[in-house]
Amino acid sequence: MAFERQSQQPPGPRINEQIRISPLRVIDGEGKVLGVVSRDEALQLARQQDLDLVEVAPHERPPVCRIMDYGKYKYEQNRKTRKAKTHHHQIKEIRVSPGVDNHDLDFKLKHAREFLAHKDKVQITVTFRGRQLAHMETGLELVRRIADSLTDVAKVERAPSREGKRVIAVLAPK
């Protein structure tokens, strides 16, 4: 049984001494075609400019190489891929009880503003326990008060509604 030798080629384009083939079609840093030159001559041109020789089209004949700052190129590619990632909207929940204190409510509203600034939806949940269930209208009023205080950064996506022992509303960022 014969074992195939796997190349220890790093991912990405070949640069500088990793390029083995000669001659090469060379493009300088401004995008101007310098023509077909030998590998050693292309490396010398890149070193004179304090840049790297990067193989951009290895399957062409002759292969196309560009003189550029490879570190800067990798950084910009990484930045593009990071920027391309989309933010998945989440629903963040703010839980309060009907007897919540004003300071506690302000603290929860501050968090809700942060969530809305990050383009996340906010679900406001008022939970009732025991005798509080006899006064569900206070929970509806509390949710409306919270929604009114966040109107500058949010719009009501789902109006306050009673669901069992809870009153729930959903706010979406504007």
The per-residue pLDDT for 4 is 60
On average, the pLDDT of the chain sits at 89
pTM above 0.75, yes or no: no
Amino acid 138: pLDDT: 92
Q: Which two tokens stand for residue 9?
A: 């080629």
Cα separations in angstroms, 98 against 52, 140, 151: 66, 9, 21
pLDDT at 172: 95
Could you give the C-alpha distances from 2 to 5, 46, 72, 145, in angstroms and in order?
A: 9, 41, 42, 76
32 φ/ψ sector (left φ>0, alpha ψ -120 to 50, else beta): beta
What structural domains and CATH numbers belong to the chain?
A: 16-83 (3.10.20.80), 91-173 (3.30.110.10)
Contacts of 86 (CB under 8 A, 6+ apart): none
pLDDT band at residue 85 using 50, 70 and 90 as cut-offs: confident
Q: Per residue in 24-38, pLDDT tens?
A: 999 988 888 888 999
* Mean pLDDT score, 36-48: 90
Place of tokens 């906010």: 122
pLDDT at 69 over 70: yes
Contacting residues for 33 by C-beta, under 8 A, at least 6 apart:
25, 26, 27
CA distances, 138 to each of 82, 109, 121, 148, 155 (Å) = 45, 18, 23, 15, 21
